[in-house]
Amino acid sequence: MLKDKRKEVVVGLSKYGLMHKLFLLLFSSLLLAQTYPSFSKQELRQIEKKDKIAKNRIVYYEKNIKNLKNKSKKEQLKKINFQLNRLLPQYDSIINKKEDNWATPKEFLRIGYGDCEDYVIIKYYSLIRLGFNEKKLFLTIVKEKYKGGLHMVLSYFHKKDKAPLILDNLSFKILDLKTRTDLEPLVFINSTGVFKLSKDYKLKKIAQKYKEFEELKKKIVLNL
């Protein structure tokens, strides 16, 4: 009887320990979403030893985020799009010697350039950090109608059942999807799932997860 009671206590403690760890993981993930991407003083010192330009770029980014905190959403969208578009694009195959690598915002800031999805990712997390509702922001794979290739932009659904605003690393202007007749949206991705868009601008869920985005989130949880 006593042995059974001890066993119940051990099992109970182990369950509590697991639940406690899960709670801490969830809490840290929620906290991270409100502060990511950000660099500690130790990280900045290490980066400065290797690349002073990278350190200055990160400090400039952090300063801009701080200055935008109390601005209107319209101003935040405009400035985030403008400031990050000033960093020059580069293809994944040149940066990482592999195709379709999704860099975290911290990786992007350390390197200083990236492919279209890297701009979308850092804009996505920067806007969340500024208080935007993540459920209204989507990494969006589009087809470029006139060029025929695939591209990625950030969509912001600022009004229900209306064309989303498009943040594009190839344009300093933020226009809605209805105006961007050069783009054909294929899929919309965020932490809630993968979606298709109807003609009346309603989203229909087609999948729970998108592989590359899930891999990206794992790296971000590790604060990479």
Give 37-69 pLDDT, tens digit per residue.
Answer: 889 999 999 999 999 999 999 999 999 999 999
Q: Which residues have CB under 8 Å from 99's CB, separation 6+?
A: 92, 93
pLDDT number for residue 32: 57
Higher-pLDDT residue of 96 and 37 is: 37
Higher-pLDDT residue of 161 and 95 is: 161
The angle formed by the CA atoms of residues 155, 156 and 157, to the nearest 5 degrees, is 115
Per-residue DSSP letters for 145-161? TTT--EEEEEEE--STT
Fold of 38-221: C8orf32 fold (3.10.620)
Domain spans of the chain, in order of start: 38-221
pLDDT over 90 (residue 120): yes
pLDDT number for residue 35: 79
Average pLDDT, integer, range 143-161 = 93
Report yes or no: 133 and 169 within 8 Å, Cβ to Cβ: no
DSSP type of residue 103? -
Average pLDDT, integer, range 147-174 = 94
pLDDT over 60 (residue 159): yes
